[in-house]
Structure 1
């Protein structure tokens, strides 16, 4: 598919479409059933860089945070995510074997388990209505595909352009949100935005534990597909065709 917006941004990593479907993709990157350590964010990066489709279902979503981020309901269950994100838990560390070092000290993203639990309770838990969630690189997308979301990987200049374009024909200065979550969980927040009449874009990949899988200047910018279409339709006549943006292109 052609896109004036994507062409103007000069992205190093191609955007990835998030597609909800009941059709089994059969071929593509996929976790084995029972793999509880698989990282959905790594799959998202691989789909972009390797130009390969990836897909997930309720038995093959990797870690609990990934299953939650994909929209397969609250997958944390009895997993002590509040301890992992905060100060750790020695008893749980002993039970978890190889993951003990993470659980022993905790990741310290929240001051206490109580604060981390507040974060969990604030997540817009979603149970998608389809069997599969598919990551499809932009270059593989067809006119027949119906994406729910589009995920951009952007550096600071590109992210700036996307932020401006998000509010270009609104003038509200309220077209962006940037919540903390696991690296894959902007997808979850994107689902919530897609239900709104005037959805917002979601800036993400703030998960310190997964920042190393992308370049240090890269963040994600996730938009509901109808918002992407809105932005796409506004490229012509916008700043993306003028000197200020063209000057920035010289340092891409």
Structure 2
């Protein structure tokens, strides 16, 4: 499927479609079961033209498992959900059971950065209670298929498969244009949202939720600095994501003709 939006934005990379599937795409990249990594590495690869696939054994980290829609993977985090809530906030060192888990991971040779954050906290939330409220607010989902697939939009045949959402990797100028364009054919001024969540959760479960709404919004993501740190080597240092539920994307694609995206102001920005 071609994207007129991608053309007028002059994207450097492919828009990435997220698809539910019971069939594993031939030749798709996949994390090894249980191997720690970041879902956004696969997103960056898909933006460069490759296909990636995930299942309930290969989602790289608990946040990625939740983000892709494989249930509440935080329950599998060391120390369970309480251990994760302390990890996201103040750390596990002051909890006797949490400290023992952290020291055990250290002795077993776990990555030093992860052990440091497990014991002393990422400090993305001020308290474990606020972290727990964050988890409760997530639209945790069990996708109805065995796999979740990421692939370039150009490789999607809408007659054969329908994405749940499509994510653009954009610079500041392109993001500005997309925010305007998402409000171009709708009333109001909040047709785009910037939720607080992991990068994969914004393009995953939060977009799934929007896809089910009557008037789905577009979502800005990759404000997750852990993901940004991971993707600095992937050419994404100056980029954010802009995720569009597929039904909304069809509407927006049909509105390019006659819009500001064909006007002099936008031409003056991208020239």
TM range (shorter): over 0.9
Aligned residue for 2:174?
158
Aligned residue for 1:178?
194
Q: Is the 8 A contact 2:38 2:227 kept in 1?
A: no
Deviation at 1:24, TM superposition (A): 2.0
User: What CA distance in whole angstroms lies between the structure 2 residues aligned with 1:242 and 1:26?
Assistant: 42
TM normalised by structure 2 equals 0.88
User: What CA distance in whole angstroms lies between the structure 2 residues aligned with 1:96 and 1:151?
Assistant: 36
Alignment of 1:1-252 (within 5 A): 1-35=1-35, 37-49=36-48, 51-77=49-75, 78-79=80-81, 80-90=83-93, 91=99, 92-97=101-106, 98=110, 99-143=114-158, 144-186=160-202, 187-212=204-229, 213-214=231-232, 215-250=236-271
Q: Is the 8 A contact 2:2 2:153 kept in 1?
A: no
User: What CA distance in whole angstroms lies between the structure 2 residues aligned with 1:232 and 1:216?
Assistant: 27
User: What CA distance in whole angstroms lies between the structure 2 residues aligned with 1:137 and 1:245?
Assistant: 25
**Superposition misfits of 4+ residues, deviation over 6 angstroms:** none
SS of 1:185's partner is helix
SS of 2:17's partner is strand
Deviation at 1:106, TM superposition (A): 1.1
Give the stretch that moved more between structures: 9-18 or 93-102.
93-102
User: What CA distance in whole angstroms lies between the structure 1 residues aligned with 2:154 and 2:251?
Assistant: 20
User: What CA distance in whole angstroms lies between the structure 2 residues aligned with 1:95 and 1:203?
Assistant: 38
Q: Deviations over 1:38-61 (max 9, x none)?
A: 211111112112x11000111111
Give the stretch that moved more between structures: 151-160 or 21-30.
21-30
Give the stretch that moved more between structures: 236-245 or 106-115.
106-115
SS of 2:73's partner is coil
SS of 1:28's partner is coil
